[in-house]
Amino acid sequence: MGKISKSKRIFVSGSTGWIGARLIKALKGAGYVVLGASRSSGLDILDKPKIIQALRKFKPDVIIHLARDTKDDTHRVDIQGTKNLLDIARKIGVRQFIYTSSVLVYEETSETTHSDTKPLPKLSFHTGAAKQRAEEMVMKFKSPLVFRVSSIYDSGRLLFMKEMFGKKVYFEVDRYTNSYLHMDDAMSAFIFAIEHKLTGIYNLASFYATPRDIAAAHKAIIVPLRFLGKNKTHRDNIVVIDKIKSKGWEPKFTEMN
C-alpha cells in the first residue's frame, strides 16, 4: 500500500444512481473536487467525443466507474463504456482507475465461500461475464482497482422491501445466506482506496444474512417470491474480505441497523 494520496480531482460515472449520488456527496464532504457523469445529466460515457472533451477540461486524478448496464444496454456500459473511459484515462494521465464490479462474478462457481485471491473460471452468465470482461480490461491499466461489491444494504432503501397497506412487506427471492455491503461502508471503502492508492481486486462486504434475517430486523411481513432463473445459484454466497482488511480497511456496520 502506498503513501496517503494527494489526489483531489475525482470523476464519477453513474453519478445519479443509488450509489453514485451518495458517493458524490461523500467525496465532496471529504474535500475532493468531483465531476459526475450520467445519461440524465447529459454526459454519457458511451458518447466518447463528448466525455473526452469533458475529462480533458476537468483533468481528474482518479476515475471511479460506477455506471452499469440497464436492461436495454446489452452490456454496452460494462464493455464499451469501460473501454472508453480506460482509453481516455491513458490519454490524459489519470493516476488511478476504480471499477465497481459485482459478486455476480462468482455466480457460476460451485463454492459457497468466495475469495478474491483465486482466478475466476470463464463465465457464460451474461451479467457476470460482462463484469469479468470489464475487470480484465481494467486490470491492464497502470494503477487499477476493482471492487467486487456485495448487495448494497441501506436501511432507508431496501431492494425487495415495499410499503403495502400500511405495513412493510419483504419479498423473499431465496432462503440462502448472502453477502451485504452497508452503504456507509461502501463510501468509506472508496475514500480509503483513493487516499491509500489501492490497486488490485478486492471483495467488499459488511455482514452476512438471509432474506428472512433482513425481514425480521425490519419487522416486515415475508412474501415468498420464486422467479429465479436458471442461472440463479441455489446456495449460500459469502465473500471473504480478508485481503482488503489486510490493507487496513474494515467495515464498521457488521450488523443490520
Q: Residues with Cβ < 8 Å from 86, sequence gap 6 or more?
A: 97, 137, 138, 140, 141
Residue 99 · residue 202 · CB < 8 Å: no
Query: Grid coordinates representing 26?
Result: 461523500
Quick one: pLDDT at residue 230?
46
- Whole-prediction pTM: 0.89
Quick one: pLDDT at residue 156?
62
Compute the distance between CA of residue 33 and CA of residue 62 in angstroms, rounded to an integer: 11
Q: Parse the chain into domains and list their residue ranges.
A: 9-151+181-205+239-245
Compute the distance between CA of residue 190 and CA of residue 197 in angstroms, rounded to an integer: 10
Residue listed under C-alpha cell 419483504: 170
Quick one: pLDDT at residue 108?
75
Compute the distance between CA of residue 109 and CA of residue 117 in angstroms, rounded to an integer: 14
Compute the distance between CA of residue 239 and CA of residue 178 in angstroms, rounded to an integer: 8
Closest CA to 181 of 8, 44, 22: 22
Compute the distance between CA of residue 238 and CA of residue 42 in angstroms, rounded to an integer: 38
- What angle, rounded to 10 degrees, do the helices at 183-195 and 18-29 form? 50
Query: Grid coordinates representing 60?
Result: 481528474
CA distances from 232 to 114, 127, 161, 176, 186 (A): 16, 12, 20, 12, 25
CATH no. of 9-151+181-205+239-245: 3.40.50.720
Strand pairing report for 178-182 and 207-209: antiparallel
Direct distance between the N- and C-terminal alpha carbons of the chain, in angstroms, rounded to an integer = 32
Sheet with 161-164, edge to edge strand ranges: 161-164, 167-172, 221-224
pLDDT (tens, 9 = 90+) of the chain, 257 residues, equals: 444 555 699 999 999 988 999 999 999 999 999 999 988 888 999 999 999 999 999 999 999 999 987 665 567 888 999 999 999 999 999 999 999 999 989 887 778 899 999 988 887 766 788 899 999 999 999 999 999 999 999 876 666 667 776 778 877 666 789 899 999 999 999 999 999 999 999 999 999 998 888 888 878 878 777 554 444 556 788 999 999 999 999 999 988 76
Quick one: pLDDT at residue 23?
97
What's the CA angle centered on 80, arms 76 and 86, to 5 degrees?
Answer: 145
Residue listed under C-alpha cell 454526459: 43
Burial 81-105 (b: 16+ CB within 10 A, else e): bbbbbbebbeeeebbbbbbbbbbbb
